[in-house]
Amino acid sequence: MLKARIAVMVSGGGTNLQALLDAQAAGKLPSGEIVLVLASNSKAYALERAKKAGIPGFAVSKKELGSQEAFEEGLSKLLEEYRIDLIILAGFLSILSESFTAKWPRRILNIHPSLIPSFCGQGMYGLKVHEAALKKGVKVTGATVHFVNEIPDGGEILLQKAVEILPGDTAEVLQRRVMEQAEWLLLPQAAEMVSADIVKERE
C-alpha cells in the first residue's frame, strides 16, 4: 500500500512531533508515513528529534527570508520536493496565508490546546491558552484537532478531547496534562484518519 506522505511543521521542542513519531513506531499510523519535518527556526529542538528518527528536517525562517511570500515559497518548494500529501502543524507558530492554505484544502491539520471555540484565535498559543482558561475559571479544557484555513483556529473541527482542570493547577501543570491526556492521543489519531482517506482516494 502506498502510504500518505506526511510533513510535520514545528516551531519549538516538538513534543507533538515526538507523539507522532512514537505512534508511527508503534504501528498506529498504518496509512501514513512522516517523511519530512520543517521548523520555523533553526534552533527548534524538534529538528533534533527528526534527526534521531532518521527523518529529513529543514529550517525555513520567515525572519531570514524577509517576507511571508518568500517564507511560504520556501515551504512549498520542500513540500513539493518530498511529494507531501498531508501537512501537520504541531506547535507551528507562524500563521499561513490564504493563498497557501487554499492549495491544501482538508490537507493541513493543526492541534490547539483548548476546546475550540474557547481560548483560540490570533495570539492564542502555548501557555497563553492555559493561562486564559485558568483566569476564566472553566472546569474543563482539552485539545482540538482541526483542518486549517486562513482564519487562525477557524477550520473545521475533526477531533476533540476534554481534560479536567484541577484545583491548584498552574498553567504549566495544566499544559502538561492537556498534552498527555489529549494532544498526544488526538494528533496521531487524526493523522491516521486523514491518511486513510488519502490512501482511499488513490485506490
Which tens digit of pLDDT belongs to each residue from 115-135?
999 999 988 999 999 999 999
Average pLDDT along the chain: 95
Q: Is 146 a catalytic residue?
A: no
Question: pTM of this prediction?
Answer: 0.95
pLDDT confidence of residue 138: 97
pLDDT confidence of residue 95: 87
One-letter-per-residue 3-state SS of the chain: CCCEEEEEEECCCCHHHHHHHHHHHCCCCCCEEEEEEEECCCCCCHHHHHHHCCCCEEECCHHHHCCHHHHHHHHHHHHHHCCCCEEEECCCCCCCCHHHHCCCCCCEEEEECCCCCCCCCCCCCCHHHHHHHHHHCCCEEEEEEEECCCCCCCCCEEEEEEEECCCCCCHHHHHHHHHHHHHHHHHHHHHHHHHHHHHHHHC
CB 190 within 8 A of CB 158: yes
Least confident segment among 82-86, 94-98, 184-188: 94-98
Least confident segment among 29-33, 62-66, 102-106, 133-137: 62-66
Residue 49 has pLDDT above 80, yes or no: yes
Confidence of residue 33 (pLDDT cuts 50, 70, 90): very high
Q: What is the pLDDT of residues 177-188, one digit of tens each?
A: 999 999 999 999
pLDDT confidence of residue 6: 98
Residue 93 has pLDDT above 90, yes or no: no
pLDDT mean over 80-104? 95
pLDDT mean over 45-51? 96
pLDDT confidence of residue 1: 76
Least confident segment among 35-39, 57-61, 150-154, 177-181: 150-154
Options 107, 112, 146, 177, the catalytic residue? 112
Domains in the chain, start-ordered, CATH in brackets? Answer: 4-202 (3.40.50.170)
CA distance 112 to 118: 10
